[in-house]
């Protein structure tokens, strides 16, 4: 039994071996026939293997032909053979022609070879690189950096170049495209690295520049702080020096007062002694002539000094005031006193000129005699005096030597007196070499004062009766900066255009409350501010401001101007004219051709009914302050383009006391508006975006908003209507008018 079993097994083994040998022979032939296609399929997925076999593939996917696999050791593939008809193959119900290659699924290639289907799974090589990349629908990853790729059991070439692909393998084209893609990826990676290096260098450079800028800012700040400290120390030193100087002057003044008091006391004692001696001589019965002479001398001395038998006071006696106001002629006292006491008379004359009349005060270097009922200039002798105020007295004349004792005066105020032109001596003010300010407001002058000192910088002759300005009226006043002649009888007919020629430094002139009908001609080129309010001006010609190209402020309120009386080229090209006041005239429209550089425009108190479109569009940089209060603007007065040119500059806008029925268009586009006045109109409704633009995400900019005395119902105002106002407490809504 056991022997039979062994024999049967041996026979079965021999039969199996014989069958296997017969089947291997055709399989080997088929295998050789399909070997090139299988190797080509394997080469399509194995980039590194192809790099070692041929220089043309350059490490990318491609076809390797049958001859390339000679004498190579490849991993044994996992074949799946499917039987079919001779020269044709049937795979999953589909008939394939011989030598057909297809991929039933990803990473598997199949070949129809002599009626058999041979399938092979693509094996991926081992890549020796740091950066790997696997494309979509590809089986194996690839290297994106230039490193060596090693393949396990890579076959060696026989030395002959590969034969051409006689099968027309489509993977050759795919391999070339893949190579191009890899080249582009490599270039992109290099470009990215280069950009990173450039960005890193740029950041480093920026950090260095920022550090340098911070260092410079710090040095500048330290320099400013140092300069500020030096300035503060200098100011403190100057203040200490000024305080020391004031203390020294006060001390000198105190000593002078003490000396004067001491002299007065000595003279009083001497007078009392002389009176006693005279009385004794009268009692002794001296000769009549001697008694009469002594009596005359005593009465004269008493009339001049009037010394009471008590300690002296600062206030002077009325008799002394009379002596000050009506001084005796030179030499009169000497003639009456004779030749016996010349030294005593000199001391007494000095005493007369230093005492002040009642109502006058002295403080440091200033003497004030306002409303003291003086009828003449007091004969003072204080060389260090700088300021003298004689306002509100009854002075009528200024004689030649009125200021001989105070030659260092810098400021004189003679306002509100009764000075007439004929009462001013031509030499009265000429000797004051340091005079810089002279005020003569409220007098009775009909002509300009003659022979004024050349050092004068400020002159005020307001509220007089000036009727004429001659060609030489301002002769020699080349240092004059400020000139005021308001409230006189001047006009373009009695002001000579050549009169202003000597005023080379004049920057400020006031000619209001006169009778001008046009802008005065001949104004100096240095003029910066011109005030002509309350005149009769009806026209502004093209040549009115031709010579005053630097003018900055023009005030023409309370005149008779309208929009047609201003020439188009009167001031439109002025680059320095920033402030213009045309309030209280006869305008019905906002005038066109306004100055390009205008920043501040006042048109309040006219009859303006409309703001034309583009009227502010030509201004550079743009209007900042616009006052249109007390006009006749209504619901149709403002066009969509009326405020064009002011959206980025308008700071303060006043439209109060008009007849507006709604919020004007364009206000919500003013991004820099701080103050808005719409009170005392007829506004009944406020929409959500009428004042504040809901799309503007910037910080709130409105500081004050006035809407009182309209027809608004606060309960119907949208919650976001005032979103651009910094504080709701800045919105004034009450009271409102009853509907």
**170 and 45 share one domain:** yes
Q: Which two tokens stand for residue 321?
A: 């005031």
Residue 292 lies in a domain: yes
Using alpha carbons, select from 707, 580, 596, 582 the residue that is nearest to residue 654: 707
Residues 25 and 57 in one domain: no
Distance, in Å, from the CA atom of 236 to the CA atom of 257, rounded to the nearest integer, reads: 31
| Cis peptide bond upstream of 533, omega within 30 | no
Give the model's pLDDT for residue 469.
94
The arithmetic mean of pLDDT across residues 290-311, rounded, is: 37
Q: Is the pTM of this model over 0.95?
A: no
Q: What band does 22 get if pLDDT is binned at 50, 70 and 90?
A: low
Top-confidence residue, 19 or 78:
19
- Asked if residue 618 belongs to a domain, the reply is no
Q: Which of 123, 141, 176 is the last residue of a domain?
A: 176
* Residue 489 included in any domain: no
- Do 46 and 171 fall within a single domain? yes
Looking at the structure, tell me whether residues 169 and 34 fall in a common domain.
yes
**pLDDT in the model for residue 356:** 79
3-state secondary structure of 534: coil
CB neighbour burial string for 223-239, b if at least 16 within 10 angstroms, e if fewer:
eeeeeeeeeeeeeeeee
Query: What local confidence, expressed as pLDDT, does residue 44 receive?
Result: 39
Those residues whose C-beta lies under 8 Å from the C-beta of residue 47, and which sit 6 or more positions away, are 59, 60, 61, 125, 140, 142, 149, 178
User: Given the structure tokens 């402030």, which residue do they identify?
Assistant: 579
42 and 159 within one domain: yes
Residue 310 has pLDDT above 80, yes or no: no
- Peptide bond connecting 307 to the previous residue in cis, omega within 30 degrees of 0: no
Element (H, E) at 133: strand 132-133
| Inside any domain, residue 7 | yes
> What pLDDT, on the 0 to 100 scale, is given for residue 314?
38
**CA dihedral over 607, 610, 612, 616, signed as positive or negative:** positive
- Average pLDDT of the chain is 78
What is the model's pLDDT at position 1? 60
Q: Are residues 66 and 146 in the same domain?
A: yes
Residue 723, pLDDT above cutoff 60: yes
Look at residue 465 and tell me if it is in a domain.
Answer: no
Per-residue pLDDT at 422:
92
2, 81: one domain? no
Which tens digits make up the pLDDT trace of 577-591? Answer: 999 999 999 999 999
**What contacts 360, CB < 8 A, 6 or more positions away?**
367, 368, 369, 372, 378
Question: Is residue 206 included in any domain, yes or no?
Answer: yes
| Six-digit token string for 328 | 């005796």
Whether residue 264 is predicted with pLDDT greater than 80 in this model: the reply is no
Question: Do 196 and 100 share a structural domain?
Answer: no
| DSSP secondary structure letter of residue 449 | P
Same domain flag for 281 and 230: yes
State the average pLDDT over residues 324-350: 38
Tell whether 72 and 199 lie within a shared domain: no
Domain that holds residue 58: 30-176
Closest residue by Cα to residue 353 from 311, 404, 308 = 404
The number of domains in the chain is: 3
CA distance 344 to 274: 14
Among the listed ranges 32-41, 338-347, 612-621, which one has the minimum average pLDDT value?
A: 338-347
Average of pLDDT values for 567-572? 92
Same domain, 46 and 23: no
159 pLDDT band, cuts 50/70/90, is: very low
For residues 45 and 23, membership in a common domain is answered with no
Q: State pLDDT tens for residues 208-223.
A: 888 988 888 888 888 8
Which one is predicted more confidently, 454 or 274? Answer: 454
Average the pLDDT over 479-502 and give the result.
94
d(CA 546, CA 270): 75
Pick the residue with more confidence: 296 or 690? 690
- Report pLDDT digits (tens) over 383-423: 899 999 999 999 999 999 889 999 999 999 999 999 999 99
CB-based contacts of 292, cutoff 8 Å, min separation 6: none
């Amino acid at each position: 039994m056991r022997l039979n079993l062994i024999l049967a097994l041996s026979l079965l083994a021999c039969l199996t071996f014989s069958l296997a040998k017969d089947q291997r022979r055709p399989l080997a032939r088929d295998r050789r026939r399909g070997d090139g296609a299988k190797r080509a399929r394997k080469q399509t997925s194995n980039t590194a293997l192809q790099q070692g076999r041929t220089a043309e593939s350059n490490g990318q996917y491609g076809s390797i032909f049958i001859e390339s696999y000679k004498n190579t050791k490849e991993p044994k593939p996992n074949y799946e053979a499917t039987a079919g008809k001779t020269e044709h193959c049937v795979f999953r119900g589909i008939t394939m022609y011989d030598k057909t290659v297809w991929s039933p699924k990803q990473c598997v290639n199949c070949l129809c070879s002599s009626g058999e289907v041979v399938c092979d799974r693509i094996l991926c090589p081992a890549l020796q690189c740091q950066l790997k990349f696997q494309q979509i629908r590809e089986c194996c990853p690839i290297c994106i950096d230039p490193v060596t790729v090693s393949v396990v059991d890579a076959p060696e070439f026989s030395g002959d170049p590969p034969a051409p692909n006689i099968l027309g393998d489509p993977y050759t084209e795919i391999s070339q495209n893949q190579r191009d893609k890899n080249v582009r990826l490599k270039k992109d990676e290099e470009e990215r690295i280069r950009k990173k290096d450039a960005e890193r260098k740029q950041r480093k450079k920026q950090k260095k520049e920022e550090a340098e800028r911070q260092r410079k800012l710090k040095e500048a700040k330290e320099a400013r702080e140092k300069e500020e400290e030096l300035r503060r120390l200098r100011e403190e030193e100057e203040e200490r020096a000024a305080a020391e100087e004031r203390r020294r002057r006060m001390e000198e003044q105190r000593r002078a007062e003490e000396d004067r008091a001491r002299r007065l006391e000595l003279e009083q004692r001497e007078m009392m002694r002389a009176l006693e001696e005279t009385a004794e001589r009268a009692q002794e019965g001296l000769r009549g002539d001697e008694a009469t002479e002594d009596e005359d001398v005593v009465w004269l001395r008493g009339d001049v000094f009037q010394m009471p038998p008590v300690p002296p006071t600062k206030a002077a006696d009325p008799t002394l005031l009379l002596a000050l106001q009506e001084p005796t002629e030179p030499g009169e006292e000497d003639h009456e006193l004779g030749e016996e006491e010349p030294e005593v008379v000199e001391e007494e004359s000095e005493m007369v000129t230093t005492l002040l009349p009642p109502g006058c005060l002295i403080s440091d270097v200033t003497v004030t005699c306002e409303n003291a009922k003086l009828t003449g200039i007091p004969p003072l002798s204080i060389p260090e005096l700088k300021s003298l105020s004689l306002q509100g007295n009854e002075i009528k004349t200024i004689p030649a030597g009125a200021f001989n004792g105070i030659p260092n005066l810098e400021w004189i105020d003679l306002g509100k007196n009764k000075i007439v032109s004929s009462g001013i001596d031509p030499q009265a003010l000429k000797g004051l070499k340091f005079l810089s300010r002279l005020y003569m407001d409220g007098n009775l002058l009909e002509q300009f004062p003659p022979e004024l000192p050349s050092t004068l910088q400020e002159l005020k002759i307001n509220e007089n009766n000036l009727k004429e300005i001659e060609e030489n009226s301002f002769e020699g006043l080349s240092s004059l900066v400020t000139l005021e002649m308001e409230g006189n009888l001047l006009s373009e007919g009695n002001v000579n255009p050549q009169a202003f020629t000597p005023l080379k430094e004049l920057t400020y002139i006031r000619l209001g409350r006169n009778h001008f009908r046009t802008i005065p001609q001949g104004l100096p080129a240095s003029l910066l501010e011109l005030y002509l309010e309350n005149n009769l001006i009806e026209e502004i010609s093209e040549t009115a401001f031709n010579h005053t190209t630097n003018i900055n402020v023009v005030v023409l309120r309370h005149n008779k101007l309208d929009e047609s009386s201003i020439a188009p080229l009167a001031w439109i090209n002025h680059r320095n004219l920033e402030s213009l006041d045309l309030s209280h005239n006869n305008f019905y429209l906002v005038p066109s051709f306004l100055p390009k550089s205008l920043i501040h425009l006042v048109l309040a108190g006219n009859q303006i009914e409309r703001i034309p479109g583009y009227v502010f569009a030509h201004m550079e940089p743009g209007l900042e302050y616009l006052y249109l209060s007390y006009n006749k603007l209504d619901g149709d007065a403002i066009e969509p383009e009326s405020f064009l040119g002011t959206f980025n500059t308008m700071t303060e806008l006043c439209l109060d006391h008009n007849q507006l029925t709604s919020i004007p268009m364009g206000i919500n586009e003013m991004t820099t508006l701080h103050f808005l006045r719409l009170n005392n109109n007829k506004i009944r409704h406020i929409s959500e975006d009428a004042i504040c633009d809901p799309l503007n995400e910037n910080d709130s900019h409105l500081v004050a908003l006035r809407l009182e005395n309209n027809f608004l119902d606060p309960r119907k105002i949208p919650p976001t209507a005032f979103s651009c106002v910094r504080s709701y407490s800045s919105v004034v809504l009450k009271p409102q008018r009853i509907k």
